[in-house]
Amino acid sequence: MNLLLFQPMALIASWYLFAEEPAKGLSFNPAVLVASLYVFALAAFLGYQVISRVPPLLHTPLMSATNAISGISLIGSLVIAGSRYEHHQKLASALGCLAVTSAMINVTGGFLITDRMLKMFRKKEAVKAEEKK
Amino acid sequence: MIFGQYFLEATYLIASCLFVMGLKSLSHPDTARRGMIMAAAGMAAALFGTLFHPDIHNYIWIIVGLVVGSAIGIPMAMVPMTAMPQRTALSHAFGALAASMVGLAEYVIHGGSLGPIKMGALGLEVMLGSLTVTGSLIAAGKLQEVIRGTPIMFKGQHFVNLGLFLGMITCFVLWMINPAAGVYFYTLVGLAFLFGVMLVIPIGSADMPVVMSLLNSYAGLSSAATGFVLGNNVLIIAGTLDGFSGFILSILMCRAMNRSITNVLFGGFGSVVATDTAVAGSMREVTLDDVAVQLAYANQVVFVPGYGMATAQAQHACRELGDLLEERGVSVKYGIHPVAGRMPGHMNVLLAEANVPYSSLYEMEQINPELATTDVAVVIGANDVVNPDARDNPKSPIAGMPIIEVDRAKSVVVLKRGKGKGFSGLENPLFFKPVTGMLYGDAKSSLTNLTQAVQKV
């Protein structure tokens, strides 16, 4: 249960970030950067722990799963596509729309094909049972 | 913080936890499916929460993007399993495109007012993202065979690449010094697009498992950098998980070929045809009926598939033969080399698609000790991963690469399209060994004919 060890730390680190004034703080804020680096480092450890346990059998689903998950950049794209700006409104919306589209391709396509693949990995008994039907 | 903000961050926190749990569930095929449904639920939560983001005023572009994205994404999930490598390469391109578009938009909106740290992250994001976009597109083109699969090399290639790389660094530094100067930034983006192309064209198709993993890692890291720019934790977490997964996979793939990443990226492997490896002896051709008798009366048969099985779409025919042999009491196993095929785990997915239960799929380390007691090893369209030169000949270009030692089996049958050399251009001494019989022809029809022949025995 290494996961549990990591979580309190991640929670503390994320609290720093959430406590900041959102969005408007464009100026440099060291606390945010430090918290972000914590999150990055902890996620890296966690990733190493979790992913090194995935057997080679499931390496293709792993790749498509992580691909789908990294489609989370969708949330950044959504805000850009839907916000109002003083300058360059059209360009920003167009770039945002393109980003939403490509992220959404990965999210829908990625999760669907991962599920389709994982459905195929079955035990011997399950395969036999289906053939009898 | 207002209530809406708490709600938003709560959905992100939930999403982060669900992603980690989803990936953890991939450690076993029985739990994997449920875990991925959890991860998808996490994604849905984050998406739903973001729709209530206080900055969003206009939903038109969002809806257009979501609808078009789904309209492309859903058909992309329906491709046949043999096309998985191309499809995955394409999705790396889309992931990276999303990240670099977010970066571009951030720069367009905020100009030079982001502060040095965010600017650095933004530059990294756009640079990694852009080179991954074109690199993945080239990789997909090679896998789909739109582009020649062999390494494309020219004189002074390394200097051109080095020049491009230094150019990117220079633009990056100049831009950091003078953030308002868009010209450096846009030159950086252009150079990164070009660099992605140059990075992948000299790499041969057989090295694609490494390239795919590496591009996966870049796409993830560029998402993580997006998280730094936007100050968003769930992006950092998901991007880092993706980046690390690709990183670990590329290390595993390199280890399975006994080569370094530098050698894969810059070696141009497979472009030089080795001519000096003259092998004594001749190849022995066997007939279908001989093989059928051998298989039918064997105690244990091990199938070793390679990329040739994917191109011939022979996985179903293979499974039918395996089933028939099992009915006759033969123990049937499948030995899978980590770099067999064009992406990590490629062969496993193909065989699983053909209804081979995962308990019959063995990793290289598991199957090697069993080969000495195996009566017949059937090699289906694999070459380098069973080449005994890797073990015996220290001068071989693939020396030291771990192989599936089929030559230790009592008898070896190689299903091969023709007498030509494999992708790497290396002579394979396995084909000349006395225990080896060659069965020429399309793997799929050979296997189907074998099944019929075994039925008659």
Partner-chain contact A62 B245, CB within 8 Å: yes
Q: Is the pLDDT of residue A27 over 70?
A: no
State yes or no: pLDDT of B362 exceeds 80.
yes
pLDDT digits (tens, 9 = 90+) for A31-54: 878 888 999 999 999 999 999 999
d(CA A1, CA B450): 49
Structure confidence at residue A24 (pLDDT): 42
Please state the pTM of the whole predicted model: 0.87
Q: What are the distances in angstroms from CA A59 to CA A65, A113, B248, B339?
A: 10, 14, 11, 11
Q: Which of B308, B336, B269 is nearest to B443 (CA)?
A: B308
- Active-site annotation of B, residues: 384
DSSP B277: -
Task: Please tell me which residue, B115 or B278, carries the higher pLDDT value.
Answer: B115
Amino acid at B258: N
* % chain A with pLDDT above 90: 55
Mutate to test the interface with B, among A45, A53, A63, A124 (most CBs of B within 10 A): A63
| pLDDT for A129 | 76
In this prediction, residues B330-347 reach a mean pLDDT of: 92
Are A44 and A86 in the same domain?
Answer: no
Mean pLDDT, all residues of chain B: 89
Kindly state whether residues A11 and A61 are assigned to the same domain: no
- CB-based contacts of B313, cutoff 8 Å, min separation 6: B82, B444
Contacts of A127 in chain B (CB under 8 A): 355-357
Decide: helix, strand or coil at residue A67.
helix
Alpha carbon distance B88, B90 (integer Å): 5
Looking at residue A41, its pLDDT comes to 93
Could you tell me if A32 lies within 8 Å of chain B, comparing CB atoms? yes
Tokens 């004919």 correspond to: B449
CATH number of B288-456: 3.40.50.1220
Position B182 scores a pLDDT of 85
Q: What is the pLDDT of residue B425?
A: 66
In this predicted model, what pLDDT tens digit does every residue of A97-123 receive, in sequence order?
999 999 999 999 999 999 999 999 988
| pLDDT-above-90 percentage for chain B | 60
Residues A64 and A125 in one domain: yes
Across the interface, do A80 and B236 touch by the CB < 8 Å criterion?
no
At B25 the pLDDT is 94
For residue range B395-410, what is the model confidence (pLDDT) as tens digits? 888 888 999 999 999 9
In the predicted structure, residue B270 carries a pLDDT above the cut 60: no
Q: Which residue of B has its CA nearest to A100?
A: B65
Which residue among A18, A36, A53 closes a domain?
A53
- DSSP of B388-406: THHHH-TTSTTTT-----G
Q: Same structural domain for residues A48 and A78? A: no
A9 and chain B in contact, CB less than 8 A? no
Q: Provide the pLDDT confidence category of residue B271 given band limits of 50, 70 and 90.
A: low
3-state secondary structure of B243: helix
**Span B94-123, average pLDDT:** 88
- Indicate whether A77 and A112 sit together in one domain: yes
| Together in a domain, A80 and A124 | yes
Edge-first strand listing for the sheet containing B300-305: B361-363, B331-336, B300-305, B376-380, B411-416, B436-440
Which 40-99 residues of chain A touch chain B by CB within 8 A?
Answer: 40, 43-44, 46-48, 50-85, 87-88, 91-99
Average pLDDT over residues B338-366: 92
| Same domain? A81 vs A116 | yes
Residue A39 structural domain: 1-53
Would you say B257 and B210 are in contact if contact means Cβ atoms under 8 Å apart?
A: yes
Domain ranges of chain B: 79-266, 288-456
Task: Give pLDDT, residue B280.
Answer: 63
Same domain, A124 and A64: yes
The dihedral built from the CA positions of residue B252, B256, B260 and B266, taken in this order, carries a sign that is negative
Chain B residues with CB under 8 Å of A59 CB are 249, 343-345, 348
Main-chain phi, psi angles of B301, to 5 degrees: -120, 135
* Contact call for B224 and A61, based on CB within 8 A: no
Q: Which residue has the higher pLDDT, B55 or B18?
A: B18
- Whole-angstrom distance, CA of residue B169 vs CA of residue B40: 38
Is the pLDDT assigned to residue A7 strictly greater than 80?
Answer: no
Helices (H) and strands (E) in chain B, counts: 17, 6
Contact (Cβ atoms closer than 8 angstroms) between residue B86 and residue B144: yes
Task: In whole angstroms, give the CA distance from residue B41 to residue B56.
Answer: 22
What is the residue type of B247? F
Query: Which tens digit of pLDDT belongs to each residue from B33-44?
Result: 999 999 999 999
**Residue B424's pLDDT is what?**
63
Planar angle of CA A125, A109, B357, nearest 5 degrees: 15
Q: Are A81 and A132 in the same domain?
A: yes
CB atoms within 10 A of CB A37: 13
Does the structure show a pLDDT above 50 at A3? no
Count of domains forming chain A: 2
When pLDDT is averaged across residues B383-402 and rounded to a whole number, the result is 87
A116 and A80 housed in the same domain: yes
Name B142's bridge partners: none
A105 in the same domain as A40: no
- Segment B419-431, tens digit of pLDDT: 766 666 678 888 8
pLDDT of residue A43: 93
Same domain, A68 and A119: yes
Tell me which chain B residues have a C-beta less than 8 angstroms from the C-beta of A86.
none
R_g (Cα) of chain B, nearest Å: 25
Measured between CB atoms, does A36 come within 8 Å of chain B? yes
User: Residue A79 pLDDT more than 80?
Assistant: yes
Query: Which pLDDT does position A11 carry in this prediction?
Result: 42
A5 touches chain B (CB under 8 A): no
- What pLDDT does A69 receive? 93
Mean pLDDT across chain A, nearest whole number? 80
Cβ atoms of B218 and B96 within 8 Å: the answer is yes
Q: Which residue of A has its CA nearest to B29?
A: A121
